[in-house]
Structure 1
Amino acid sequence: MPGRDADFADFSDDLSTLLDVLGIERTVIAGFSRGAYLATEFYKNHPDQVAAIILEDGGSVAFATTFFKLPPDQLATFFESVRIPDEIKSRYFDVYDSEFEVYSNFYDKKTGGSQFHNFGFIRQVKDKWIGYGGLMEYMHMQDGSHYAKLLFQPQSVSRYAASIVLQQPLAIYETLHVPMLILDAVGTPDLFQNSAENRELASRFPHLISYRAFDCADHNIHFGCPEEFLQAIRHFLHSLVLRSEEPS
């Protein structure tokens, strides 16, 4: 976790600086879930560095929209359900004696291989090691009461946690000027039921926004249906090439 309370704008500024250092003038910015909101923040703050945007189940609709549409009893049921199952908690969120123990917990035996990327999730804390330890607290989503405070009193939580709730994608994309691909997971149960809002946004910019709904996943499309996901990405990137070849 960062040593200070960095918000989404701080992360977007960091990415902007990285692109400058690498000599990349414009890029296709993409993100999944919370990462999609970070992509939207990057476009908000550094639009001239964005060539196109890919949003996978997030970043296109205000985060709280799904929850504010729920009847009070269903919202209360949701808050009561917010907890990390003991098995998941012990596997991914506990504190461990060795780096290898964390790596083993993250290792997917079905996939095989080195899975070297798992080390990117591992952190040392004094003489111990953690994977996702502290993540839910950092996002202020560790239980129902904290989740409710995040949604209804975002000004009272950390800047980072509040960033996802305070962001207003529709206002940000009122001045959209680059191609966008929205990948919307609509499988059962749909974790974020925003297909109507996504379709409405796409209808505002039919010449810029491509919308794809996937009923093979309820949130994580690239994991639930990887082939369909890659096909959509390839098609969108190919369309960007064709656009660049059109006479101005």
Structure 2
Amino acid sequence: MKILFLLTCLSLTLTNSKLMAQSRTAPDMEQLYTEANSSYRKFESIHGGYVQTDNVLMHYLCWGNPKNTPLIWSHGSFSHSYELADLARLLTDGGYYLIAVDYYGHGQTPVPEKEVSLYNSADDIRVLMDSLKIDQAIIGGFSRGGYIAAAFYQSYPERVKALILEDGGSVAFNTFNHRMSEEALEIKIKSMAPEQGVSSIYEASFDSPAAAYQSLYDKSAGGLQFELLNIVKRKGNQWITYAGLNDFFCMKDDQQFKSLVLKPNNSPLYGASITMVQPKIIFRNLHIPLLILDPVADHDPMPFEKDNIALANQFPGLITRVEFAGIEHNIHYEKPAQFSQELLKFLGIVQKQGLSFSKKK
């Protein structure tokens, strides 16, 4: 999971969005918010849903025919269930029932009151499958969502027909960190602390949902951008977007991240749990098809290329590894056409292998 790259991209996006949104007049933004809110509510009435688990009231989206092959997707850090929304039509036209969850602190799913881990997120997906009467599904995820997908396979292997891991979940989180020299690791750790301006964007609270929406709106993109409202949520008498997430991930400052890397068992459970997902152990008896979408770049902050190749060579009949040269992390965003092509190709192979997908009666 390329944390530094992800935070840098997010900070640039949010900073630019905020500046551009402020250039609009107040009436313009108020009208945009009204229209966006209407579109968001309409979209949610068609595609949105909630399921109560032992941990949280989890929000999710679904597209397509429930009778088709189910594909359940977990998004990356600081993203949400709309992550693959632009690709939903392509997947549903291909005969798949796409389900995307919001895990803790993202979208409309809150952070639970009790201590939780990535494995609790996996449990939530199992409850969702039960509620939708899905016995087995293709499970996939991006970045942190990939680790959730791997944790789900470890916990409920009988519920998984195939796995899709986009730069996360195929290699242990701290693998590269623990290979670095002490000096190099110290430099990396210090670089993880978000800049003050970025922190203020992450931690901001607002007097209204309209103000929170305005802080995220990208004028250069235009349109309603109603999906931004899935990030906006109420907290007490205020409205927030990403507030508290860095702390929840144990990434609020360099000291938190240092503890996560060197002493994860001393860190809060959710942040630490990503270091507890051990793919070499989880996949030692792999028995289902696995697609690894592997971005490889010259300045890759978390290079997992060799580890992914080794894993694929261990299971040549089950693992398909696709390399995306020049991409540091977010394949589905930077190369959506190629991402979709490889996804559908893999899913087609899975179907040809005669793997049936069943619904619970």
TM over 0.5: yes
1:74 aligns with 2:184: yes
| Matched residue, 1:115 | 225
Give distance in 2, aligned partners of 1:230 and 1:40: 21
Please give the per-residue CA displacement for 1:165-214, whole angstroms capped at 9, x wherever unaligned: 12211100011111010011112421321100000000011111000111
2:243 aligned residue: 133
2:342 match: 232
1:49 to 119, 142, 159: 159
Contact 2:167 2:293 (8 Å CA) reproduced: yes
Mean alpha-carbon deviation: is it higher for 223-232 or for 34-43?
223-232
CA RMSD of aligned residues (A): 1.6
Q: What does 1:30-179 align with in structure 2 at a 5 Å threshold?
A: 30-179=140-289
Q: Quote the offset at 1:10 in angstroms.
A: 1.4
Letter matched to residue 166 of structure 1? M
2:253 partner amino acid: D
**Counterpart AA for 1:194:** F
Amino acid at match of 2:168: G
Q: What's the counterpart of residue 207 of structure 1?
A: 317
Corresponding residue for residue 222 of structure 1: 332
- Structure 1's 21 and 205: CA in aligned 2 closer, same or farther, altered over 3 A? same
Alpha-carbon distance between aligned partners in 1 of 2:320 and 2:342, rounded to the nearest angstrom? 10
Paired positions, count: 246
Q: Is contact 1:92-1:106 (8 Å) kept?
A: no
Identity %: 35
Mean Cα deviation higher: 110-119 or 159-168: 110-119
Normalising to structure 1: TM-score of the pair?
A: 0.94
C-alpha separation between the residues in 2 aligned to 1:158 and 1:245? 39
Partners of 2:221 and 2:322 lie apart in 1 by: 27
Cα distance in 1 between the residues matched to 2:355 and 2:158: 20
Structure 2 unaligned blocks of 5 or more? 1-110, 357-361
Given the alignment, which residue of 236, 240, 243 partners 2:353?
Answer: 243
Pairwise CA distance, 1:80: 1.2
| Cα distance, 1:110 vs structure 2 | 4.2
TM-score, L = length of structure 2: 0.65
Query: Deviation per CA, 1:59-89, whole angstroms, max 9, x where unpaired?
Result: 0011000111111111111111112233433
Pair 245,17 (structure 1): closer, same or farther in 2 beyond 3 Å = closer
List gaps (5 residues or longer) in structure 1: none
Distance 2:223 2:249 in 1: 31
Q: Distance in 2 between matches of 1:71 and 1:184?
A: 24
2 CA distance for matches of 1:181 and 1:125? 38
- Within 2, Cα distance between the matches of 1:79 and 1:245? 44
Distance 1:119 1:49 in 2: 32
CA contact (8 A) 2:289 2:318 kept: yes
Q: Greater shift after overlay, 93-102 or 172-181?
A: 93-102
Please report how far the alpha carbon of residue 163 of structure 1 lies from its aligned counterpart in structure 2 after TM superposition: 0.7
Q: Using the TM superposition, give the Cα deviation of residue 143 of structure 1 relative to its aligned residue in structure 2, in angstroms.
A: 1.4
Matched residues in 2 for 1:46 and 1:39: separation? 10
Structure having the higher helix fraction is 1
Change (3 A) 1:110 1:49: farther
The one-letter code sitting in structure 1 at the alignment partner of 2:150 is T
The letter for the 2-side match of 1:12 is: A
Task: Report the secondary structure of 1:64's partner residue.
Answer: coil
* Equivalent-residue separation in structure 1 for 2:355 and 2:173 (angstroms): 36
